[in-house]
Amino acid sequence: MNDNETARICYCEKGVKVAGQPSLIFIHGFASSKRTWLSVIKHIPHTYHCIAIDLPGHGESIGFNEEYYIGANVIDLLKQFFDKLHFIEPICLIGESMGGSIVAMFATKYPFDVGIICLLSPPPGEEYETDLLQQLRSGTYHSILPETLKQYHAAVKSLSEKKIRLTRLLTKKYFKTHLHTVNQYQRILQVAFEHDYPNLGETYKQLKYLTCPAFIIWGREDKLCHPAGAHYLAKLLSKSELIIFDNCGHLITIDKPEETADAIINFLERNPYYESRL
């Protein structure tokens, strides 16, 4: 799946494939990993097959060069990965933040591989750009890639509405695991803003051609991706439903993990699999 034969996609799995039911594939956001989804997946019934993936440059996926920081290459890589897993049915593809934009890109290029999509607060493009996104685009990254204790506290406060008690142990763990990857994450952001972000508007316009059900989830207090983006995407997707959580920031999987799992399962139950393919 890469010019480098040692490249590996790492993923975790719960449950088994079931005929007539889509596997649930979870795509994390920027500077995150498959572990982001564990708080949600633990609330998904065991009757569902779940897979959470580490994207190139994140988590435990290794050996990928910078070409795989570009969204177009990521979705082709995911296509190869999904083909190797031999899914019985088209999948339910779920993405948070940057992962949501990856889901949109994948679904518009490979619509017959996807039975349902769920978008959790993806960046809605320049038209709905927040001050935080403008800072990131200008090269100021500390709002999501803190390098000092003060920046860390500010980032947590701006991205999440959950009252997180920032103990010394938790803070130490963050800096131990993230500081050595800051340069790599900065490069991933640079590539994203150079190659993917300017084209998001055109990518999203293609969503109007999707016929599969789509579920949009947002946090009302999201300071990174403006909630107006939720209504913008809902208008583009002909078979969409939208839910906006109160007291929820950008990090929906942290602020509302159980509510997110329940909402996704309820959406799946309202959109029986075979009906979604008609």
Any idea where the domains of the chain sit in the sequence? 11-128+199-276
- Distance between CA 273 and CA 278 in Å, rounded? 10
Beta-carbon-side half-sphere exposure of residue 85 (alpha carbons within 13 Å) = 26
- Distance between CA 197 and CA 249 in Å, rounded? 21
Q: Which CATH number fits domain 11-128+199-276: 3.40.50.1820, 1.20.1250.20, 3.40.50.2000, 2.60.40.420?
A: 3.40.50.1820
- Distance between CA 255 and CA 182 in Å, rounded? 24
Neighbours of 149 (CB within 10 A): 12
pLDDT tens column, 115-141: 999 999 999 988 899 999 999 999 999
Q: 115 phi and psi, to 5 degrees?
A: -95, -35
pLDDT tens column, 53-107: 999 999 999 999 999 999 999 999 999 999 999 988 899 999 999 999 999 999 9
pTM: 0.93
For the four alpha carbons of 34, 269, 275 and 243, in that order, the dihedral sign comes to: negative
- With bands split at pLDDT 50, 70 and 90, how would you rate the model's confidence at 174? confident
pLDDT at 152: 85
